[in-house]
Amino acid sequence: MIKRNLPLMITIGVFVLGYLYCLTQFPGFASTRVICNILTDNAFLGIIAVGMTFVILSGGIDLSVGSVIAFTGVFLAKVVGDFGLSPLLAFPLVLVMGCAFGAFMGLLIDALKIPAFIITLAGMFFLRGVSYLVSEESIPINHPIYDTLSSLAWKIPGGGRLSAMGLLMLAVVVIGIFLAHRTRFGNQVYAIGGNATSANLMGISTRSTTIRIYMLSTGLATLAGIVFSIYTQAGYALAGVGVELDAIASVVIGGTLLSGGVGTVLGTLFGVAIQGLIQTYINFDGTLSSWWTKIAIGILLFIFIALQRGLTVLWENRQSSPVTRVNIGAAIKTPLRVERRRRLRVRELTDKAFDIFNHMVVADKERTALVQGFRDNIQNTLFAIARFTARLFRQECHRVALIQ
């Protein structure tokens, strides 16, 4: 329990320490207005990062999410502005298109056995090019529904206003936590990230799960594109450049291992919050360049990757400790005692069965010798099977103990 939650606790600790430092430098950080602004400004990034968490948990990567934002923006700007389609119809349409594109990438990844990096890189170039074909210029979106959604907010104590975009991001995080920890789909994602071969042997459909993972990621990226278009009131082919890297950074800072199998959606939320906290501090300072945000994020990434590696080595050393070997021996000895008792029982049953058979047949020496030889062969075969089964069982106990 502690082993799996330690990266999350470290991330939360970093956020708390960072917030306290900002509070000592600028007392205005105590206002709920600052927290609400961080949630609103990073709403689209938080939504993308939730989908990226599932992808990285499975051991994959998705580089197409930034281009999905750009395509979503220019598509909505065209169909709403030029064709007069209502946003209430355009939103579901573009969501279906995004999910279909993600499902297609997931199918290619599993069917062709090509690394997700290559497939999603191709998807990134494809959607970015399509966005430029639609329009090379920024297209403003003027619609009453957009104006309403961008201004929709709820007042909270302390003078803050929680926008609909920030609330949507929090709702996506809650749903993501539920999917990851309370559904069969979440268990399958963790299983594939831990060991895809073992997950396949357990009966998990890796193809179906992979398709759903990338469909979820691209669907959430499309939703983030809708939020970004509401936030900027425009669609632009250059929107979302580098966002995929910010999302990956948020996931890693949140404690998710790039190798897959370990991580939480809640940690990703704090990873996004840490990035927003750094950006807000720079804005409050006024003398620092915005590029210091990237420098700080890069330093944090180095620290968290080194921390992940250190924790991995520590866990491996604990698994190979003498205590673990004693536990393995205990795990092996117990089933061996059971196997010996069963072996004696098999000998007793076969002896009784052939004694009965001996009394039923003609009691001549030749027939008795034949039956005795047949009985010995049967017993030897059963003992060989028992030894083979015990050896397999010992190997499996040893493997399970090492994994734990």
Which residue shows structure tokens 């030029």? 82
Q: Hey, what amino acid is at 112? A: L
CA distance 376 to 361: 18
pLDDT for 292 equals 84
Cβ–Cβ < 8 Å for 176, 53: yes
- What is the mean pLDDT for each group of 10 consecutive residues in the chain (404 residues)? 74 92 90 92 96 96 96 96 92 97 96 94 97 92 93 88 95 97 94 90 92 97 97 93 94 90 93 93 84 86 81 68 46 50 59 55 50 60 63 58 48
The separation between CA 269 and the C-alpha centre of its own chain, rounded to angstroms, equals 13
CA distance 300 to 404: 29
- Helix, strand, or coil here: 313? helix
84 by Cβ neighbours in 10 Å (0-12 / 13-18 / 19+) ranks as exposed
CA distance 165 to 224: 9
Can you say whether the dihedral through the CA atoms of 66, 69, 70, 71 is positive or negative?
Answer: positive
Long-range CB contacts for residues 307-310, cutoff 8 Å, separation at least 24: 307/7, 307/10, 308/7, 308/252, 308/257, 308/258
Torsion angle (degrees, nearest 10) of CA 83, 85, 91, 94: -40
H helices of 183-256, in order, are 184-194, 196-201, 206-232, 243-253
Fold type of domain 2-294: ABC transporter involved in vitamin B12 uptake, BtuC (1.10.3470)
CB atoms within 10 A of CB 256: 32
pLDDT for 324 equals 41
pLDDT for 316 equals 65
33 by Cβ neighbours in 10 Å (0-12 / 13-18 / 19+) ranks as middle
